[in-house]
Structure formats: structure tokens, C-alpha cells
Amino acid sequence: MTEERFVDYYELMQISPAAEPETIQRVFRMLAARYHPDNTQTGDLEKFLLLGQARDILEDPEKRAAYDALRQEEKQKPLAVFSLKEFAVGIDGEANRRLGVLCLLYHQRRVSPDKPSLSLLDLESIMSFPREHLVFTLWYLSEKHQVRRDETSNYVITAEGIDYVESKLSSNRVIYRLLKSAEYGSAASDDLRIWLNEEVIDSPHGNGTGRL
């Protein structure tokens, strides 16, 4: 874990921040076997090494407490991807902002089934857009039945919304990278901006816009 690339170990392991040590160990063993470099089908050295780091920190009470404090600070930072020109305020960026909201809610639903919703304040903070610029986006997604409000008035993705996001993954590399990076908990890091800009430049659509 470095200043350049913060890794959310809870999201990496897809466990709750309140997970017990027994859960951490059980999940680690399962994922370590899957991503071990000797596994010819699913081996992933980088992910395997990150899992080892995650276990070492999360199983040590003092290290975990310090890490949790750092994680809380990192969670307050907006995701770098939303500063790209593809999400610019205005009509040109509106379709991309809709997909951005859906991806955030998709990820929240997948990794936090006990808390699958995000508030308008959460979306403001993560996307670094004022709520006035998100109201239209959320109204449209609600009208399309891709998001809904829960009992606390927070936003959750619907089955229709999940289907829509997944239908875009094969043809939209920017969205794929955004969701994929979340598996490492690194979506707020500067290296994602470089990664995404390279993806836009190398877009198979050849228009150089990275349009979602």
C-alpha cells in the first residue's frame, strides 16, 4: 500500500469492514487458492500478493485500527475517473454520468449486500459533482426503473439497472475498467486516471472520445 495507490482490502476480499478474524482467514484461504500463481486457470500474482498484504494487516488489531482510519480518509476522496472530460458537466456528459451513477450503485450492491445504497451526499462526494447536477441524472434513472429509493431515501440499483450496466461492459472499456479497478479498491488513485486515459486513446471505436 503506497500513497500512489491506496488499496481497499475489504473490497479486495469482498468482505464487510466489520468482518471477524475467522471470516478474514476463511476468505483469504479461498481467494489465495484461486489467485495463486501456480493456478494455471485463475492465477494472478498481483492479486495474490495484495491478498497477503490484506491478511497481514486485517488480522493484526493495531494495524487494522490504523488502516481503518486511513481508509476512512481515503473514502472521502472523489474517484479520479469522474474528473475526466467524458463526465463534463452539461449535456455532453449526461449519458456518462448516468452510467457512472449506475456503476457506483452496482459496485455498492455487489460488495455490500447489507448496505447496498448510497445517499445523494455520497454520490456528490464520490463523483465530485454538486447535487444540483445530479438531480436530473437520478430523476432519469428513476423514471427508467434503473434505480429506486430505499426506506431511508437513499438510492439503490434495481435488477433493470444491473442488466443495463452488464449489457454495456463488453463494448465499453471505460466502464469495464472502472468496475474492474474497484475489485482492488483502487478507483480513487491517480494511476486509474492514467489507465483510463490510455484506454480512451486506444479505444476500439477509434473516435478518441471514450464516449460511454
Tens digit of pLDDT at every position of the chain (212 positions): 444 578 889 988 888 888 999 999 999 999 999 999 999 999 999 999 999 999 999 999 999 999 999 988 877 777 777 777 777 767 777 888 898 899 889 988 887 788 899 999 999 888 888 888 899 999 999 999 999 999 999 999 999 999 999 888 777 766 776 676 555 554 444 444 444 444 443 433 333 333 33
**CATH 1.10.10.10 occupies which residues in the chain?**
80-201
- CA neighbor of 118 nearest in space, from 78, 152, 93, 79: 152
Give the per-residue pLDDT at 4: 54
Query: How many whole angstroms separate alpha carbon 70 and alpha carbon 50?
Result: 17
165 and 175 Cβ atoms separated by less than 8 Å: yes
Three-class DSSP category at 147? strand
Residue 61's beta-bridge partner residues? none
**CATH 1.10.287.110 occupies which residues in the chain?**
9-75
Show the cell assigned to 52: 497477503
Residue 78 DSSP code: P
- CB-based burial label for 25 (10 Å; 0-12, 13-18, 19+): middle
Kindly provide the residue ranges of all beta strands, DSSP E only, lying in the chain, ordered along the sequence. Answer: 147-149, 155-157
Q: Packing angle between helix 91-111 and helix 159-169, nearest 10 degrees?
A: 110
24 and 59 Cβ atoms separated by less than 8 Å: yes
CATH 1.10.10.10 fits 80-201, yes or no: yes
Give the per-residue pLDDT at 87: 75
183 and 68 Cβ atoms separated by less than 8 Å: no
Residue 60 DSSP code: S
CATH number of 9-75: 1.10.287.110
Query: How many whole angstroms separate alpha carbon 192 and alpha carbon 86?
Result: 14
**0.85 surpassed by pTM:** no
- Measured at the CA of 47, the angle between CA 46 and CA 51, to 5 degrees, comes to 120
Read off φ and ψ for residue 149, nearest 5 degrees.
-95, 140
- CA neighbor of 73 nearest in space, from 208, 188, 169: 188
Show the cell assigned to 111: 460488495
C-alpha 101, offset from chain centre: 11
Three-class DSSP category at 156? strand
Give the per-residue pLDDT at 158: 97
